[in-house]
Amino acid sequence: MPSHAIAAIGKPMQIAFVPDDFDAALRHWTRNMGVGPFFVMERIRLEDARFMGAPSDCTFTIALAQWGDVQIELIRQDNDAPSIYRGDYRPEGGAMHHICVLTDDIPAARAAIEAAGGLVLVEGKVGADGAVLYADCGPAETRPNAGAIVEVLQPASGSEGLFAMISDAAKGWDGSDPVRVLG
């Protein structure tokens, strides 16, 4: 594998969806799939967020749960700002929206994405010392490529505790209290 390949950035840790009906998706994943509990974080806004190079004030709600080695993320946009969660970058029917990989070097990840022909769609700060970018990694001639988006997350300090809590809650989960809102 070439050293600049997107796969070399990091191991996939999450599959994300932007469902047509957020609450119905939560019910599907918890009742039909047996995945949970989901932890909901409301009205998130990335600091210094940019969408397609322009400042963005997109706010969104996410629900996170662990399914074996993979985290499942459900996303609902809370305002009308231009974003990857609506329009051409939102797959029809709530199909997979993006996968997430972790890195400790956002600049190197960005360089790998651009070297592979990817287009950075969103970038922003996460917490005091984290960062994130989302890139369309599909062929340039078929953009926009809803479902070909890769999120690269450089977690903020302390995120490992959140991820561990979500993972631990899923171990032996008995179906009770399937949706838990974090303050």
Domains in the chain: ranges and CATH: 6-171 (3.10.180.10)
3-class DSSP assignment, residue 145:
coil
- pTM for the model stands at 0.94
Q: Which two tokens stand for residue 84?
A: 């990857």
pLDDT value at position 77? 97
Residue spans of the chain under pLDDT 70? 1-4
Ramachandran sector of residue 19 (left: φ over 0; alpha: ψ -120 to 50; beta: rest): beta
DSSP state of 147: T
pLDDT value at position 4? 54
pLDDT value at position 1? 39
pLDDT value at position 95? 87
